[in-house]
Structures are given as C-alpha cells and as structure tokens.
Amino acid sequence: MNKKIGVVSLGCPKNLVDSEIMLALLKKKGFEITAEKEEANVIIVNTCGFIESAKEESINTILEMADYKKGKCELLVVAGCLAQRYKDEIKKEIPEVDFVVGVSGYGEIAGIIDKAYNNGIEGISSESLYCDNNCGIEYLTNDRLISTNKGYAYLKIAEGCDNCCTYCIIPSIRGPYRSRSMEDIVSEAQSLAQNGIKEVILVAQDVTVYGKDLYGEKKLVDLIEKISGIHGIEWIRLLYCYPEEIDDALIQEIADNHKVVKYLDIPIQHASDKILKMMGRRGNSEVIKNTLAKLRASIPRLVLRTSLIVGFPGEDEKDFKILYDFVRESKFERLGVFTYSREEGTPAYDLKPQIKKSVKDSRRSDIMQIQREITVRHNESRLNKIYKTLVEGVSEDGIFYYGRTYGEAPDIDGFVYFTSQEPLKAGEFVNVKILNIDDYDLIGEVVNESSK
C-alpha cells in the first residue's frame, strides 16, 4: 500500500519505545514512514497525559496535526496516555480525529489503519481500537524502528505501576506493574546491539522492582548481568530507581560492573516527611538520606539526578524550607522541579489547602536557583578532565560535534560540544577533554589519551 505515515511522539522515553514499535509494525505492513508531516497520508500522535503541561502539549499538537487534513493527511490517529484517559472527550471536541487508540492498542495499529483503507472507517468498531489498561504487554515483543540514530536506545523492561502516589494518574492509565520476561528483554538488547546500539537505557516506571511480579523477587541485578554480557553494548544506564528499593546488591552491581554507567535517576519528589506521607510515598526522609549516603560512599564519581514536586497541597513554609535545605545539602548533580499539577481522578485532587500558582512558581524558582549554583560547581570540577563520550551528531553551526559522557542522560541533561581533527560518526566513542563550560553544557576537544 503506497501510503505515507508520520508519527509524532510526545512525553517520556517509555512513550518513545511505544512509538518505535508502531513505526516498525507499520513499515512491516507496507506503509512508508515519513518525517515530513505535510507528505503524510496518516498522522499518528502518541500523546502524554501525565500532568497539565503535558496534556496541553498533546492537545496543541493534535490541533496542529489536524491542520494537515486540509492537505494530504487522510487519517488522524491519537494514541497513548491522553487517548487512554480522555478518549470520549477527544472524539467529541476534536472531530478531525478519526481514531483514538488506548495504551494497549499499539500492537493493533497497523491492522487498524490497513483495515480503514481496505474496508472504510465505518467498518472499524471502537472495541478494535481500544482496550483497558490491564491488557497484556505482548506488543513489547515486536520489533522497533529506532528513531534516535545516535548510538543509544531505550529498553522498556516493564509496563504500569503498583505505587500509590496520591498525585499520580499513571497507574490508572497504564495499569499495574507488569515485568517483561528476562528472555524477551535480553533478546531485544541483543537485537539492538546487532543494529549498532552502544548504550541501552533501561526504563520503567520503577526499574528497581523489575521481576518481582513475575519471578517473586527483584531481578534487576540478574538482568543487568545478562545484558552486560552482550557484545557491542558498552553502556547500560538505569532510569527511575525508587530510593527505598535500592538495595546493597544493586549498589554493588553498579559499583563493580564497568558497563553500568555511574549515573542514577532517583525521583524522590520531596524531603518533608509530612508531605511524603501525604504523597503516598513508601519511604521517608531518613530512607532517602541513608540511600544517597550509601550510594555516594560505594560508587566513586557517581552522578545523581532527581525530580521534585513543589506546591503539593498542604506544603507550608516549613515543609518547603526542609526541601530547600535538603537540596542545598545533598548536592544532586542533576535536578528537575515540577510544580504540583492537580489531576482529576487522583487522591490528591481533593486535598486542601491547594497552593496558589504564584507560590508554586516562586518555590520552583528558588529551588532551581540553588540547583543552578550546584550544577555550575559540578561542571567546573570537570574542567581539564578526560571523559569517554558517545558521539551523537554535528551541531547546527557545523563547527562542533556533540555528545554525552556517562554523566548526561539523553533528552534531559546537557550536551558536551567538542572539536575533532578527524571525522566522526554518530554512535562511536571518543575521549574528550573538557576545556570550558557554557551554562549546563560542556565544551572540549577530542584527545588520544585514555579516558579517566
């Protein structure tokens, strides 16, 4: 079928994996994939619906893509978290949308579009487009069309979440935590390596509890060991590790395994025990501090990232000061701050008192100001040091290459910009000496010395 399809992927890396699976299924069905939306006969928007800003981005993107129906676009499909959460509203409010596909309907996407062209839109029942969030995760075993082309790929090891954070809608959208089998994950990692991927980034809502539902105990360490044995994979990165689930075995594996990059993303959300309890978090400030101390002591040169929420209902000045002081003392190398988003369907929706937007914004600004100082000092400590760096491409000015060391995760952290006397290709490793800093980015040059 000579039809062109474009996919717009929004939100987190887990969503990107789902988009790449859809791309591969569509290509296998005979559709042509295009990055040029004005050339696409079918446009799929894989949406995020986590918080208000993500919902706004998703809706604006859908409306933007709807304009292409004035041209060559014949079908507009909305998939993903927003589709799962607001399918009826999307159909009603945006009539240009032809199909709404829930989060477990990714595996059916190619068949749905093929059927639409062969039998007409009217012949497709809503049941074939949408299933609830307790559906299986077999679709994750499908091939993927890797879209990054920069030497790295995300590897989703589980779907859903069993945590009961009162601010979060994800369990309602994505369902309970469901681990993929270790064999499936390792097989996909082998396929990624055969296709030139050097860095695999393990993602799930919480990677630390991987395997507990499937094998009766946590199996992340076993999974890491198997993936690290795959020829061609040089870096393994872990994203989203809950502090209360980081045990001694995992810390030891990170410390000892040379393929595991010394970088952890640990979303803690807050440091006030009162707010953590209201958030439904399983740990407390003591658990968080003890975990961070143990990680720092056991893993030299560790880079830690965290995410925080300010302005949660009931957060008073005392709670905020606890959080502010914690950030100043903990010195996270990377840190992001969200203002609390009041989401219908979550337990926190009705909590009082709700915090004014101006107060939330002010608190976020205060945290980011102190964090900026911490980040600058960390970057300054890296001057004149040499780092193994994954090349991702050439900057827009054509002068510098850009890439990442172990201390930067894609999409959320800064870049290293560097010069090289020899031509380089995306996906290869080079040693870069850091010579300068530019805000959150680093500037350097390729050297022949061994990396430190």
Average pLDDT over residues 375-391: 96
Rounded to the nearest 5 percent, the helix, strand and coil shares of the chain are 40, 20, 40
Report the pLDDT value the prediction gives residue 398, as an integer from 0 to 100: 86
Report the pLDDT value the prediction gives residue 419, as an integer from 0 to 100: 97
Q: If DSSP codes are grouped into helix, strand and coil, which group holds residue 37?
A: helix
**What distance in Å separates the CA atoms of residue 15 and residue 170, rounded to the nearest whole number?**
12
Instruction: Please give the model's pTM, rounded to 2 decimal places.
Output: 0.93
Half-sphere exposure (Cβ direction) of 103: Cα atoms closer than 13 Å: 28
User: Chain centroid to CA 274: how far?
Assistant: 28
Q: 127: Cβ–Cβ under 8 A, 6 or more apart, which residues?
A: none
- Pick the closest to residue 418 from 451, 391, 396, 383 (CA basis): 391
**What distance in Å separates the CA atoms of residue 64 and residue 367, rounded to the nearest whole number?**
34
Report the pLDDT value the prediction gives residue 120, as an integer from 0 to 100: 65
Q: In the predicted model, is pLDDT for residue 128 greater than 90?
A: no
Half-sphere exposure (Cβ direction) of 377: Cα atoms closer than 13 Å: 10
Long-range contacts of 61-64 (CB under 8 A, 24+ apart): 61/8, 61/10, 62/90, 62/94, 62/97, 63/94
Average pLDDT over residues 154-175: 93
Average pLDDT over residues 377-386: 96
Report the pLDDT value the prediction gives residue 104, as an integer from 0 to 100: 78
Average pLDDT over residues 183-190: 98
Average pLDDT over residues 117-129: 56
List of domains in the chain: 4-128 (3.40.50.12160), 138-380 (3.80.30.20), 386-447 (2.40.50.140)
Band of pLDDT at residue 164, cut at 50, 70 and 90:
confident
> pLDDT of 335-349, one tens digit each?
999 999 999 999 999
First-to-final CA distance of the chain: 52
- DSSP states of 155-212: EE-EES-----TT--HHHHH-S-EEPPHHHHHHHHHHHHHTT--EEEEESS-GGGTTH
Average pLDDT over residues 125-141: 61
Report the pLDDT value the prediction gives residue 122, as an integer from 0 to 100: 54
> pLDDT of 226-276, one tens digit each?
999 999 999 999 999 999 999 999 999 999 999 999 999 999 999 999 999
Average pLDDT over residues 19-40: 94
Tell me which DSSP letter residue 350 carries.
G
Report the pLDDT value the prediction gives residue 102, as an integer from 0 to 100: 84
Contact, 270 vs 323, CB < 8 A? Answer: yes
- Report the chain's mean pLDDT, rounded to a whole number: 92
Report the pLDDT value the prediction gives residue 2, as an integer from 0 to 100: 82
Structure-block tokens of residue 405: 């060391």
Give me the amino acid identity at 195.
N
Give me the amino acid identity at 127.
E
Band of pLDDT at residue 382, cut at 50, 70 and 90:
very high
- Residues of the chain with pLDDT > 70: what percent? 95
Contact, 323 vs 271, CB < 8 A? Answer: yes
The CA-atom distances, in angstroms, between 218 and each of 156, 221, 268, 363 are: 16, 8, 20, 37
**What distance in Å separates the CA atoms of residue 42 and residue 337, rounded to the nearest whole number?**
36
**What distance in Å separates the CA atoms of residue 409 and residue 415, rounded to the nearest whole number?**
9
Report the pLDDT value the prediction gives residue 182, as an integer from 0 to 100: 98
Report the pLDDT value the prediction gives residue 239, as an integer from 0 to 100: 94
Report the pLDDT value the prediction gives residue 108, as an integer from 0 to 100: 86
Looking up tokens 């995300």 gives 154
Q: Is the dihedral of CA 328, 329, 334, 335 positive or negative?
A: negative
> pLDDT of 31-70, one tens digit each?
999 999 999 999 999 999 888 999 999 999 999 999 999 9
Q: 145: Cβ–Cβ under 8 A, 6 or more apart, which residues?
A: 20, 23, 24, 27, 33
Q: How many residues does the structure list for the chain?
A: 452
Looking up tokens 């994505």 gives 174
Average pLDDT over residues 293-315: 98
- Pick the closest to residue 309 from 206, 167, 408 (CA basis): 167
Region for 450 from its dihedrals, namely left if φ exceeds 0, alpha if ψ lies in -120 to 50, beta otherwise: beta
